[in-house]
Amino acid sequence: MAQLITILNGPNLNLLGQRQPEIYGHDTLDDVANSCTAVAAQFGLRCELMQSNHEGALIDMIHTARQTSAGIIINPAAFTHTSIALLDALHTFEGPVLEVHISNVHKRESFRHSSYVSLRADGVIAGFGVQGYSLAMQRMGHILAPEG
């Protein structure tokens, strides 16, 4: 069975495609799931995309991923800058973690410039729109590729 990559999305990303399209674009999370599924298949992987507006639910998803997933791609959204609890949960996950941001957070308000999640992430992709998820999935495929 193909290895699973868990894709986690934080608060307000359920409104992707509707909320602030001038910043986040018009693609939806369904579009993200479809593109990530296609990229994952190229590497013999499968993916599951989840979203929650609640910090505790995201932590529970990370805890579940410890038993089910080879890697995590996470867009923590606003929790990026506030959640030590997410950081602590990610530290319990032994596989690769890639952090994704749709917008270039370093070009925005100063409070968005710091990330607790980056203290655990093996890589960060920001500013490429929803294509950042596909780029993260490609990177995950290379990280998890069998050596040989």
Q: CA–CA separation, 106 vs 125, rounded Å?
A: 12
Q: Does residue 113 carry a catalytic annotation? A: no
Query: Which tokens go with 142?
Result: 């290379």
Query: Which tokens go with 108?
Result: 């925005």
CA proximity to 35, closest of 128, 145, 144, 147: 128
Alpha-carbon dihedral sign for residues 6, 27, 42, 100: negative
Annotated catalytic residue, options 54, 63, 91, 101: 101
Parent domain of 59: 3-144
Q: CA–CA separation, 118 vs 20, rounded Å?
A: 24
pTM, 2 dp:
0.93
The total number of structural domains that make up the chain: 1
Q: Are 75 and 97 in contact (CB under 8 A)?
A: no
Q: Does residue 24 carry a catalytic annotation? A: yes
Q: Are 112 and 81 in contact (CB under 8 A)?
A: yes
- Alpha helical stretches, state H, 26-117: 29-42, 55-68, 84-91
Which CATH number covers residue 85? 3.40.50.9100
Note down pLDDT in tens along the chain; length 148 residues. 789 999 999 999 999 988 777 777 789 999 999 999 999 999 999 999 999 999 999 999 999 999 999 999 999 999 998 999 999 999 999 999 999 999 877 766 665 657 899 999 999 999 999 999 999 999 999 999 876 4
Q: Are 86 and 114 in contact (CB under 8 A)?
A: no
